[in-house]
């Protein structure tokens, strides 16, 4: 039987294998910043680099192994690029195929089959992402055109939609799918590793303020 540390290291190795996939802008690599964040701090997702106190470098494999040891339920490893932080989140609920993963301080991601549906407690949260046409193509590893709508709460308390036109296509590495979206001045590219019809490793765009999040399944 594979030990927890070996299992965690094997899972994290999948992130490294995907670092050569295509990306947009000045990102150094699709998943490289996840490890940068882990080395810099194992602090809360809600702390900025400026506000956080200096912390000893964290080994992401050790962090994942410890989480696997103490928590028997589903777990994900999350890296928020804009805040330079990484954290393990545990599943706290499941409803109609949507899973809520949360930290101890109640910051949360909501996923459906590994695709981001919403965030809570991060500030500038994504209320909901409607991307069923993209999801169908991605999970089937098929190319095609799709649409998605990202909804955010504005300062007046109203929910504002951000509709996007997207192109789904295979990435340069086996099993990787790219979702390139554009609309109303926003442009981003999501990257997904699909295994058995499920997204197990990804880099996904939350919104203009929070940017990208990397998500890796530690235990399904």
In a domain, 8, yes or no: no
Query: What's this model's pTM, rounded to 2 decimal places?
Result: 0.77
pLDDT digits (tens, 9 = 90+) for 122-171: 999 999 999 999 999 999 999 999 999 999 988 888 899 999 999 999 99
In a domain, 10, yes or no: no
**In the chain, what is the greatest distance between 2 CA atoms, to the nearest angstrom?**
54
In a domain, 162, yes or no: yes
In a domain, 87, yes or no: yes
- Cα gap 77→54, rounded to integer Å: 21
In a domain, 2, yes or no: no
Q: What is the CATH number of the domain that holds 132?
A: 2.40.360.10
Please give the average per-residue pLDDT across 52-57, as a whole number: 48
In the 3-class helix/strand/coil scheme, how is 162-181 assigned residue by residue? EEEEEEEEECCCCCEEEEEE
Please provide the average confidence, as pLDDT, over all residues in the chain.
81
Strand ranges inside 65-185, DSSP E: 75-80, 85-95, 98-102, 108-112, 115-120, 126-130, 144-153, 159-170, 176-183
Please give the average per-residue pLDDT across 188-216, as a whole number: 96
Q: Is 214:190 a contact under the CB 8 Å cutoff?
A: no
Please give the average per-residue pLDDT across 103-109, as a whole number: 93
Residue 194 has pLDDT above 70, yes or no: yes
In a domain, 138, yes or no: yes
In a domain, 171, yes or no: yes
* Residue 155: predicted pLDDT: 80
In a domain, 36, yes or no: no
Range of the domain at 109: 60-219
Number of domains in the chain: 1
């Amino acid at each position: 039987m594979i030990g927890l540390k070996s299992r965690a290291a094997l899972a994290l190795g999948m992130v490294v294998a995907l670092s050569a996939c295509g990306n947009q802008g000045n990102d150094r690599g699709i998943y490289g910043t996840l490890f940068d964040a882990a080395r810099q701090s194992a602090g809360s997702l809600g702390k900025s680099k400026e506000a956080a106190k200096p912390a000893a470098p964290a080994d992401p494999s050790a962090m994942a192994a410890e989480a696997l040891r103490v928590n028997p339920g589903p777990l994900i490893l999350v890296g928020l690029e804009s805040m330079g932080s990484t954290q393990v989140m545990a599943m706290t609920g499941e409803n109609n195929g949507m899973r809520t993963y949360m930290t101890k301080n109640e910051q949360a991601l909501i996923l459906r089959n590994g695709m981001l549906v919403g965030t809570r407690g991060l500030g500038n949260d994504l209320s909901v992402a409607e991307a069923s046409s993209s999801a169908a193509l991605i999970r089937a590893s098929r190319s095609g055109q799709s649409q998605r709508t990202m909804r955010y709460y504005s300062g007046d308390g109203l929910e504002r939609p951000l509709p996007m036109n997207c192109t789904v296509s295979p990435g340069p590495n086996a099993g990787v799918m790219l979702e390139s979206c554009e609309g109303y001045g926003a442009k981003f590219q999501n990257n997904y590793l699909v295994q058995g019809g499920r997204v197990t490793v990804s880099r996904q765009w939350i919104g203009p303020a929070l940017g990208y999040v990397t998500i890796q399944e530690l235990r399904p």
